[in-house]
């Protein structure tokens, strides 16, 4: 049986909601991964060293300009090869 929750607000100040873009990246390489880059609108916003054949991380973009942006990932392997994901638009 579903339960009900009641929320009471005793403030006259309007509530403000803050939204963030939460991005999870998982990469699999054919050689050890050297570095993974997360880009927003073609600018690097996060970089993480690799080490193994696979890597995973989560990034939360709290910046005010993320709405209407596109994100993509670039993976560089230690053998010099790289892969670039398709862009993902967030609105």
CB within 8 Å of 18: residues ≥ 6 apart: none
Mean pLDDT of the residues in the chain: 80
Residue 13 has pLDDT above 60, yes or no: no
> Residue 12's pLDDT band (boundaries 50, 70, 90)?
low
Query: What are the tens digits of pLDDT across the range 27-58?
Result: 999 999 999 999 999 999 999 998 899 988 89
Residue 11 phi/psi, 5° resolution?
A: -105, 145
In angstroms, the CA 61 to CA 22 distance is: 6
The pTM assigned to this predicted structure is 0.75
Residue 19 has pLDDT above 50, yes or no: yes
Q: Which two structure tokens, joined as six digits, stand for 57?
A: 């991380």
Give exposure, 41-69, as e/b (b: 16+ Cβ within 10 Å).
eeeebbebebeeeebeeebebeeeebeeb
In angstroms, the CA 50 to CA 16 distance is: 38
């Amino acid at each position: 049986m579903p339960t009900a929750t009641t929320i009471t607000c005793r403030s006259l100040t309007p509530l403000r909601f803050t939204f963030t873009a939460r991005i999870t990246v998982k990469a699999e390489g054919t050689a050890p991964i050297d570095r993974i880059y997360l880009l927003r609108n073609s600018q690097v916003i996060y970089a993480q060293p690799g080490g193994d054949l696979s890597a995973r991380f989560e990034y939360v973009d709290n910046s005010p300009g993320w709405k209407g942006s596109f994100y993509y990932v670039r993976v560089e392997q230690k053998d010099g090869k790289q892969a670039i994901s398709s862009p993902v638009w967030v609105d």
